[in-house]
Amino acid sequence: MALKNRSADLVIVANRLPVDRVEEADGSKSWRTSPGGLVTALEPVMRANDGAWIGWPGGTETGMKPFTSDGLSLVPESLSAEEIEEHYEGFSNGTLWPLYHDLVAKPEFHREWWDSYVRVNQRFADRAARIAAEGATVWVQDYQMQLVPQMLREARPDLKIGFYLHIPFPPGELFQQLPWRREILQGLLGADLIGFQLPGAAQNFVRLVRQRVGHKTHRDLVYLPDGRTVKAAAFPISIDTEGFEELAASEPVAQRAKEIREALGNPRTIFLGIDRLDYTKGIYARLRAFSELVRDEHLSVRDSVFVQVATPSRERVEQYRRLRDDIDRLVGRINGDLGEIGRPVISYLHSSYPREEMAALYRAADVMVVTPFRDGMNLVAKEYVACRLEEDGALVLSEFAGAADELRQAWLVNPYDINGMKAALREAHNAEPKELNRRMRAMRKTVKERNVTRWADSFLAELAATRPDHGKTVRPVGDGADEGDES
């Protein structure tokens, strides 16, 4: 497909394309739509608006032309090996990721990483400027692309530009450690609408803009000297609830859920964790908590098992390799000390699984354990709820996951408090069916009403409604930081 310049009325700019390269049995290569709610939400909007999606296809292949996959117009933007190391693994995931997740790991600040981040953002912005139609809408996604809005604004002031941050946005005392804090804030201010998972994150951003850039603000609005108004607001992301319900209700998934329980010895209670292998997810702490319950005989290995799926992640990064080794050792020690023949305490799976297998695991599990130290939302919690068709099962959820704001009927825990986590696991394990039913019914109502389509529609409707000019007299911004003026 040849995508003409200035032809797309809606442009999505993201770090990755919504497809993965797969090798067929005959050796040929094709593209398969990536799993995930973002693609599900944006696909109908893109089809209706002559949309195009700009993203990295993975790998270092160069010279790839725009193409169509399952009717979607996709525009690959390549990264060199050096850019993967410095922009993606470096600044995005070695600097921003730990900083935005409350310093769960120590962020690194390297000038060459920043330089690469700027170059990649500029290239993605340039591509969007070339293909967006006159007056088009461009929706920029996530922390890898925070400079794109302003770069795009400078090239194409006619565009409606939105930005959405899928991970947490930190409080000022953390964000201010970033040497390039002002550049990031100004990059985001190129957007007309900036979306966050939670209201507190939007407030953090507005406060920082007022203090560090010096712009006038009022509640969720920022007034720029050029006359533009920028709005920062919460748009909690969700899942394709209907799709997960249909999947969970299918005969193959129901049969697979039975097989999983049988393979585990038909225990009374299956505890389940499904996470990307990442230090923010709290996997090590939750497995320790569960093992102590078994050790102290509050749970029996004969009638309880913990299934932990850890999807491989960023395996070229040393921190992630160390985390994998630590968890491997912990699981081996727990099973060696407390397991019995044919009855491990932890059934640990370091692999990726298709949505059908995930839905079967959700159906098979009695207690879902989602205990990240910090998470923007955490869609696994919502997926589990969507798959509980009988309105049973329990959700143990970190109060530091964005999902905790909506799923208040879960057993909420502080993942740093091992004893508190143990108490919640025991309560969920021992809860009466009536109590489980009451909690799950309420959570299912929430995820049905607030699905991913509603999320996308609400953001795009708000972006379309933003006013281009505030019509206020605003003093020029000084070079230094100041407290600004809030009114």
pLDDT at 35: 64
Q: What is the pTM of this model?
A: 0.93
Write phi, then psi, for 233 (nearest 5 degrees).
-150, 165
pLDDT at 344: 96
CATH, range 8-237+457-465: 3.40.50.2000
- Amino acid at position 57, single letter: P
| Count of beta carbons in the 10 Å neighbourhood of residue 115 | 13
CA-nearest of 199, 207, 198 to 171 is 207
Burial 352-378 (b: 16+ CB within 10 A, else e): eeeeebbbbbbbbbbbbbbbbbbbbbb
pLDDT at 471: 61
CA-nearest of 93, 105, 107 to 175 is 107
pLDDT at 484: 38
pLDDT at 2: 55
Query: Both ends of the chain: CA-CA distance in Å?
Result: 51
The two tokens of residue 258 are 């039975």
Q: What is the pLDDT along the chain (487 residues), one digit of tens a residue?
A: 556 677 899 999 999 998 887 777 777 777 877 766 677 778 878 887 879 999 999 889 888 999 998 888 999 999 999 999 999 999 999 999 999 999 899 999 999 999 999 999 999 999 999 999 999 999 999 999 999 999 999 999 999 999 999 999 999 999 999 999 999 999 999 999 999 999 999 999 999 999 999 999 999 999 999 899 999 999 999 999 999 999 999 999 999 999 999 999 999 999 999 999 999 999 999 999 999 999 999 999 999 999 999 999 888 888 899 999 999 999 999 999 999 999 999 999 999 898 999 999 999 999 999 999 999 999 999 999 999 999 999 999 999 999 999 999 999 999 999 999 999 999 999 999 999 999 999 999 999 999 999 999 999 999 999 876 766 666 644 444 443 334 3
CA-nearest of 181, 168, 121, 127 to 149 is 121
CA-nearest of 170, 166, 177, 165 to 102 is 170
| Same-fold call for 8-237+457-465 versus 241-449 | yes
CATH, range 241-449: 3.40.50.2000
pLDDT at 29: 77
What stretches of 340-470 adopt beta strand conformation (E)?
346-349, 367-370, 394-398, 411-413
- Domain chopping of the chain, boundaries: 8-237+457-465, 241-449
What's the CA gap between 340 and 319, in Å, rounded? 32
Supply the DSSP symbol for 140.
Answer: E
What's the CA gap between 58 and 17, in Å, rounded? 8
